Amino acid sequence: MEKSKVLVVGGTGYIGRRMVRASLAQGHRTFVLTRLEKVGMDIDKLQLLLSFKAQGALLVEASMDDHRSLVAAVKQVDVVVSAMGGPHLLQQLKLVEAIKEAGNIQRFLPSEFGMDPARMGHALAPGRVTFDDKMVIRKVIEEANIPHTYVSANCFAAYFAANLSQIGTLLPPKEKVHVYGDGNAKVIFVDEDDVGTYVIKSIDDPRSLNKTIYIRPPGNIFSQNELIAKWEKLSGKVLDKIPIPSDEFLASMEGADHTYQIVVGHVYHIFYEGCLTNFEIADDEEASLLYPEVQYTLMDKYMERYL
Ligand SMILES: NC(=O)c1ccc[n+]([C@@H]2O[C@H](COP(=O)([O-])OP(=O)(O)OC[C@H]3O[C@@H](n4cnc5c(N)ncnc54)[C@H](OP(=O)(O)O)[C@@H]3O)[C@@H](O)[C@H]2O)c1
């Protein structure tokens, strides 16, 4: 079977660039939506786009504000993968309009790649806006009968593992570490490159059609306490553990800036509530079971680069 042609929207973004690389690596003809007006003087974005081109990707000029350009971009491919960033999720409504008009798309993957928004109806404000926006996009996709796959990628390792899930830093703490509640809720950590690999594996797969794929690599499911212990073993240094009860943690949102409040909400659901692992996958699919050939990266290995 000929591999599908893929358009990545948001291809220079943090996770989007991994979708582009995985698509090329898996032998798909890969198109990257290129918003020339946004390249401007952004030298890194331009260099990244040129590196994609050098690896065989086709850069397609289009804009969310130019419907015709979007339809023309979508018509060149079979699959659209969107990795648009959190504040811009509703811009995907324009992408859905283009996909509807083009009428040729065999699979659309909207920008998700985190907690399953369908399970976050109870989420705290203001962080819940991400889940609400993702559900708005799901609704229009399903109303238009667009073949789709949703991917729940759980915790990106660089945001949640390397820093031992501490807020406001991306580096491992040196002396003390905040522990959320009893630190025992099970969490799922995923190497971002593996997210790209699993996502692209799923796009031509009939088993993932109109389903949610959860990325739950079994070797990367563990608690914050276990994460801290892994880092202590790697670094050879014992950290002071400072437990934060849930009421104290939630109270820290009061008067804090908007971004901090969003992060606290997400951390609360993941580490106090255990929202990534407190349910069984029923009618949907799990990525490491679908694609056992993928040698995903274990967090012990991932964190070695931070030593
Ligand atoms: N699971 C986790 O731990 C985790 C962590 C972070 C994010 N996420 C999720 O991953 C997804 C992507 O997030 P990210 O952090 O990778 O995003 P990002 O790096 O902030 O941005 C991704 C891309 O969005 C595109 N974009 C923004 N405005 C646009 C517009 N008006 N039209 C077209 N494209 C636009 C840009 O692409 P171009 O400039 O290339 O056009 C940008 O590079 C989100 O759904 C987010 O919720 C999950």
Separation of CA 221 and ligand 1 centre (Å):
25
In this predicted model, what pLDDT tens digit does every residue of 236-250 receive, in sequence order?
A: 999 999 999 999 999
Separation of CA 91 and ligand 1 centre (Å):
11
Residues 80 and 228 in one domain: no
The enclosing H or E element of 131 equals helix 128-143
18 domain residue, yes or no: yes
Q: Pocket residues for ligand 1 (CB within 6 Å)?
A: 9-16, 35, 38, 64, 83-86, 88, 91, 111-114, 130, 153, 155-156, 159
Residues labelled as active-site residues: 134
Question: Tell me, what's the pLDDT at 180?
Answer: 98
Residues 198 and 90 in one domain: yes
User: What does pLDDT average to in each consecutive run of 10 residues of the chain (307 residues)?
Assistant: 94 98 98 90 94 98 96 98 95 98 98 98 97 98 98 98 97 98 98 98 98 98 98 98 98 96 98 98 96 98 98
Alpha-carbon separation of residue 54 from 17, 48, 278 (angstroms): 14, 10, 44
Residues 148 and 226 in one domain: no
Residues 178 and 209 in one domain: no
Residues 23 and 165 in one domain: no
Residues 243 and 164 in one domain: yes
Residues 26 and 170 in one domain: no
Question: Tell me, what's the pLDDT at 37?
Answer: 80
pTM score, whole prediction: 0.97
**Which of 38, 43, 81, 84 is the best mutation target for the ligand 1 pocket, counting ligand atoms within 8 Å of the beta carbon and taking the most?**
84
Separation of CA 229 and ligand 1 centre (Å):
32
Q: Residue 263 sits in which domain range?
A: 158-186+220-272
Question: Tell me, what's the pLDDT at 296?
Answer: 98
**Which of 64, 88, 266 is the best mutation target for the ligand 1 pocket, counting ligand atoms within 8 Å of the beta carbon and taking the most?**
88
Residues 197 and 180 in one domain: no
In this predicted model, what pLDDT tens digit does every residue of 12-23 receive, in sequence order?
A: 999 999 999 999
Residues 165 and 226 in one domain: yes
